[in-house]
Amino acid sequence: MAAPRTLYDKLWDSHVAHSDGAGNCLVYIDLHLTHEVTTPQAFEGLRAAGRKMHRTDKTIAVPDHNVPTTPDRLETIKDPESRLQLEMLESNARDFGVPYIPMSDIRQGIVHIIGPELGMTQPGKTIVCGDSHTATHGAFGALAFGIGTSDVEHVLATQTLQMQKSKNLRVQVDGALPTGVTGKDLILAIIGRLGTAGGTGHVVEYVGQVFRDLSMEARMTVCNMTIEAGARAGLMAPDDKTFAYMMGKPHAPKAAQWEQAVAYWKTLKSDDGAKFDKEIRMNAADIVPHVTWGTSPEDVLPITAKVPNPDDMSDANKRVSAKRSLEYMGLIPGTPLEQVKVDKVFVGSCTNGRIEDLRAVAAILKGKKIASHVGMLVVPGSGLVKHQAEEEGLDKIFVAAGAEWREPGCSMCLGMNPDILQPGERCASTSNRNFEGRQGRGGRTHLLSPGMAAAAAITGHLTDVRKVM
């Protein structure tokens, strides 16, 4: 009998197109998502070498990082550099024959939101994108990871990547999450436990009832931030919830092929007795709403905690970096996190820009006003999310509360488009990175869940969402 295999082993084995016997493999790529920031040099590279794409039917192009989120964006994009990147994506897609979704299309949105929405993201696929949060798609049992532009060019030219296999890391979380605690808190707690380099060299598989209980949206939130623990990819075995989510999506298999696909997808799980190189285990009942205090996603604590004192840290490297982080963040050790005042609230990104996230925000904001000193942006992850939210009247709740309701895009997640923090501004953000300057030069980011973002908007400071539910 064959040795028991992990889900990752199965996904890997089924995509090795060539192996040199020494661990160097050519891995076949089923879906290549492309956007405007990390592709111009790749297409240029193909042109310079006189190369063509291996095939064009497994690639999709959509603008997201640079797009403004104000309604006037269809008339003109003021920033000439952003405009050039966007124009190049369109012209490269046209020249090479890549399917392209323009900004005016209702399907436009953040690349990691639209893949699943359109049914392109499927269990068992290998999915890459010149973007580290490609890990998102692992929520479907797809092997999905971010790549650099040289590798983007490699996939365009060959539909494969040269790779060595990663190790298997199992993250098991038992039990159920308490009320008010979300997938975002779960992944922040996991990153806090693993550290930003704890997953380096590994592909993570999430197992345990808590993940089964999560919606597909929340599963995507968890897998999305796997990269913040340094892991190559995050995986969850597909189940009936996955299939129900996918059924009827535009690019999902149809009729007899659907049956055939589901039968195959059901085999995509780790075998009993499969070997993991590393395992961690946590208890869901112990997890409370989390928020970051520093400039790395591992700098995270329960909202009930206080700003840590670097002098209490035993590791010298950690002590030095915590000191720097606190200085940058303008925080004083010992301050209760709930007393930290915010200037901006950002709801959106590929981590928390899906319909369920917007519903969670609306549930808290309904009939309330955001604090007078706070500016709040609510940015749907895609045109389809925007449409759905408007159908449900969520946009009216946001606007009535005093928030701005925007067009889809990456927005304030990365500070590349006009949505940007000013130096010193503090933001409660549902995005994924609290790096120095990420949301704008000198900007200070606190990562948290959509409900926690809404709670902070109302009170004007970081707030335990369970108090306003």
Residues 69-88 that bind other proteins (CB under 8 A): 79, 81-82, 84-85, 88
Tokens of 344: 């901006």
- CA–CA dist 346, 365 (Å, integer): 14
Q: Which of 70, 209, 260, 267 touches other proteins by CB under 8 A? A: 260
- DSSP lists the bridge partners of residue 146 as 129
- The CA distance from 323 to 382, in Å, is 38
Residue (of 308, 340, 300) closest to 188 by Cα position:
300
* All residues at 6 or more sequence positions from 415 whose CB lies less than 8 Å from its CB, including other chains: 421, 437, 438, 439, 440, 441, 443
- Min dist CB 396 to ligand SF4, Å, is 25
- Give the residue, chosen from 10, 15, 58, 65, that forms a contact with ligand SF4 under the rule CB under 6 A: 65
Nearer to other proteins, 151 or 407 (CB): 151
24 contact choice in ligand SF4, other proteins, none (CB below 5 to 8 Å, kind-dependent):
other proteins
Does position 64 interact with other proteins (CB under 8 A)? The reply is no
Q: Is 47 in the site for other proteins (CB under 8 A)?
A: no
In the set 121, 349, 430, 445, which binds ligand SF4 (CB under 6 A)? 349
Angle made by CA atoms 93, 94, 99, in degrees to the nearest 5: 55
Q: Are 77 and 90 within 8 A, CB to CB?
A: no
**Nearest distance from residue 447's CB to ligand SF4, in Å?**
11
Contacts of 267 (CB under 8 A, 6+ apart): 10
**Angstrom distance (rounded) from CA 453 to CA 289:** 11
What is the C-alpha to C-alpha distance for residues 296 and 394, in angstroms, rounded to an integer? 32
What is the chain's length? 469
Nearer to other proteins, 68 or 208 (CB): 68
CA 167 to chain centre: 22
**At its nearest, how many Å lie between other proteins and the CB of residue 378?**
21
Tell me which of 65, 219, 444, 461 binds other proteins, using CB under 8 A.
Answer: 65
Cα–Cα–Cα angle for 75, 357, 458, rounded to 5 degrees? 90
The interface region with ligand SF4, picked from 115-123, 176-184, 196-204, 406-414 by CB under 6 A, is: 406-414
Q: How far is the CB of 144 from ligand SF4 (least distance, A)?
A: 13
* Six-digit token string for 322: 């915590």
Adjacent-strand bridge partners of 167: 202
Q: Which range, of 3-11, 263-271, 371-379, 407-415, touches ligand SF4 by CB under 6 A?
A: 407-415
- The listed partner (other proteins, ligand SF4, none) that binds 350, CB under 5 to 8 Å by sort, is ligand SF4
Least Å distance between CB 111 and ligand SF4? 6
Of 221, 432, 434, 445, the one binding ligand SF4 by CB under 6 A: 432
Q: What is d(CA 408, CA 412) in angstroms, rounded to the nearest whole number?
A: 11
- Binding residues for other proteins restricted to 407-466, rule: CB under 8 A: 414-416, 433, 435-438, 441-442
- Which of 117, 131, 185, 343 binds ligand SF4 (CB under 6 A)? It is 131
> Which residues sit at the interface with ligand SF4, rule CB under 6 A?
64-65, 110, 112, 131, 133, 349-350, 410, 413-414, 431-432
